[in-house]
Amino acid sequence: MQIHKAEFRCSSERIGQVPKDDLKEIAFIGRSNVGKSSLINMLTGRAGLAKVSGTPGKTRLINHFLIDGRWYLVDLPGYGYARTSKSRRDEFAKIITDYVLRCEKLHFLFVLIDIRLEPQKIDLRFIEMLGENGVPFGIVFTKADKLSATQARRSVARFAEALSEQWEELPPMVVTSSEKGTGREELLERIGDCLDA
């Protein structure tokens, strides 16, 4: 699959504000500072489409990008950012869970994981919640350029091992680097398969 045109459509504070059409939505979510915006820009080939920030927790709204007039790529707020107030964290958590569990247009969710880190409890808990609620998802490892190929393989294997304690069948996994464009074709292909399913 190729992306020819990508444009920002809207930002929503709650699920009731998302576009009221019948286009499918493919959403990206992950911990704050996992590299969501960079990945969206790399994927769409539009450098400034999603605002990249060095400050974790910058995405606070549900951002919809219209792709080729056919489907939406949705950028969700990051979860688990400790330096915001508890009430703000609760607000983010509500936005996220409302969208993930109640938005009927959500077709598939990609959970972004920083490949450099050991499996984090917050990610494993979030993935477990997706499983309990039957949300279809895959995993995208980001920042692969920061590790050697061997280290990256080990990191993915560690994460797969942590997941296999709860899951009989593992979700699809893609290794990416926004810096180098690694994994772009594979991720686009997976998105294409999701949209056709």
- The position carrying tokens 């290794």 is 175
Q: Is the pLDDT of residue 5 over 80?
A: yes
Domain-located, residue 1: no
Domain-located, residue 98: yes
Count: domains in the chain = 1
Domain-located, residue 40: yes
DSSP 49: S
End-to-end Cα distance, the chain: 14
Per-position b or e across 86-101, b if 16+ CB within 10 A of its CB: eeebebbeebbeebbe
Calculate the average pLDDT of the chain.
90
Q: Is the pLDDT of residue 91 over 70?
A: no
pTM for the structure as a whole? 0.92
Domain-located, residue 24: yes
Q: Say if strands 6-12 and 71-75 run parallel, antiparallel, or are unpaired.
A: unpaired
Q: Are 22 and 69 in contact (CB under 8 A)?
A: no
Q: What is the mean pLDDT of residues 58-67?
A: 84
Determine the structural domain holding residue 172 and report its residue range.
6-196
Q: Which two tokens stand for residue 112?
A: 């972004």
Q: Which two tokens stand for residue 44?
A: 């769409």
113: left (phi over 0), alpha (psi -120 to 50) or beta: beta
14 band by pLDDT with thresholds 50, 70 and 90? confident
How do residues 115-170 score in pLDDT, each as one tens digit?
999 999 999 999 999 999 999 999 999 999 999 999 999 999 999 999 999 899 99
Q: Is 174 helix (H, G, I), strand (E, B) or coil?
A: strand
What CA–CA distance (Å, rounded) separates 69 from 84? 35
Domain-located, residue 20: yes
Quote the percentage of the chain above a pLDDT of 70.
Answer: 90
How do residues 27-59 score in pLDDT, each as one tens digit?
999 998 899 999 999 999 998 898 875 555 455
Where is mean pLDDT largest: 82-86, 110-114, 118-122? 110-114
Domain-located, residue 118: yes
Q: Where are the beta strands (DSSP E) in 13-119?
A: 24-30, 62-67, 71-75, 106-114
Residue type, 5: K
- Identify the pLDDT of residue 13: 86
Query: Which CATH number do you get for residue 10?
Result: 3.40.50.300
What CA–CA distance (Å, rounded) separates 44 from 52? 14
Domain-located, residue 83: yes
Domain-located, residue 57: yes
